[in-house]
Amino acid sequence: MRKLVVASKNIGKLREIQEILRELPFEIISMQEAGYDFEIEEKGNTFQENAMLKAQALFQHVNTMVLADDSGLEIDYLGGAPGIYTARFAGENASQEEKNSKIINL
């Protein structure tokens, strides 16, 4: 069976993608399962650019298909913020509760 490597360290995202694509004839695995545990810098200006950066970085190391995505929270009232900065909006190591609190208290 052909492998499809997901360019993410997020186990929840991996499980979601595995569930969505479960009918496809691929073994969907994490980048760690493929033998790669490096950080991929997300320095793009859009979700699409960040997904492409992740896919290209991982593809250089594997000999199979790669799937990458990037997403975040865009709040109209905040002009689309935090957008691509969602994960770091409340601080690099903020919990989900701290992130929610920061947004609610704006």
Active-site amino acid positions: 70
- Residues 71, 47 contacting (CB under 8 angstroms): yes
Q: What is the distance between the alpha carbons of residues 93 and 71, in angstroms, rounded to a whole number?
A: 18
Three-class SS state of 80: coil
